[in-house]
Amino acid sequence: MRTNPVKRALAAGKAVFGSEISRLRSPEIARLYAAAGFDFIFIDMEHSAFGLETVGDIIAMARISGIVPIVRVPQAEYAFVARVLDQGAQGIIVPRVNDAQTVRAIVSWMRYPPEGIRGFADTAPQTDHQRVRVDDFIKANNCETLCIIQIERRQALENLDEMLAVPGVDVACLGCMDLSIDLGVPGQVEHPAMVAAIQHVVDVASRHNVASGIIIGQIDPINRWVRAGMRFASYATESLLLQDAATAAVGRLRSAMSEVK
């Protein structure tokens, strides 16, 4: 069974970096991200039009390419979590997690008995078409699957200590836009209220030996919070990265043309 280098790096106190796939349905994006050197891809099902077939294809290419596929499910429901894991996802991001009861449920959905309630299916996407003993399959999945809860509401900040005391959470990840809106400072990541909230997540996560993380489209906040102890960062999306590169290329081409004239 495949190991999870992202989960192991986080457990060793290292930082990991990835980027989101949420618009372009080509599995080739996973291979490009792997070649670029990202540690993981973050496939979004919350805000994208992706169906399970598309997600499964991207996961398969990620596994072949040696980059860890992580999927954000639409919401905290067993069916979303279990079906994505059956397609070979090595980690799950669950949005809008606000209390310890929900955290306990999420952890149980991701693990087989006796540690959880996940229904058994040793699917080919998980085993890479290899024959695996049932007990080895269960142990590997329970140990190697990454559990990420997203902190996006004031209520989650208030309940964070209790939430991160639940065994099995690997990352407490900031959803900056939603949190800023809930705090009354929409989009203002540098606002004192947001800075205090992010620092609170970093501090509480550290006390519970859980990695803190962030999903954001700007490099500067990532650099700031990684220096402050954050260890999981997802930067931008495939469409934003492509648009930025294309815009920069057009600018250089037009500049070159103007010099010729």
Q: Active-site residue numbers? A: 47
**CB atoms closer than 10 angstroms to residue 207:** 12
Give the position of tokens 């989101």: 20
Query: Is the bond into 69 cis (omega within 30 degrees of 0)?
Result: no
Q: In 3-state terms, what secondary structure has residue 237?
A: strand
Residue 203 neighbours by CB under 8 Å, 6+ apart: none
Q: 3-state SS string over 140-175?
A: HHHHHCEEEEEECCHHHHHCHHHHHCCCCCCEEEEE
- The H or E element spanning position 44 is strand 40-44
**Which of 54, 44, 126 is closest to 85 using CA atoms?**
126
Q: At what angle do helices 28-36 and 52-65 cross, to 10 degrees?
A: 40
d(C-alpha 90, C-alpha 148), whole Å: 11
d(C-alpha 46, C-alpha 114), whole Å: 30
Q: 3-state SS string over 51-74?
A: CHHHHHHHHHHHHHHCCEEEEECC
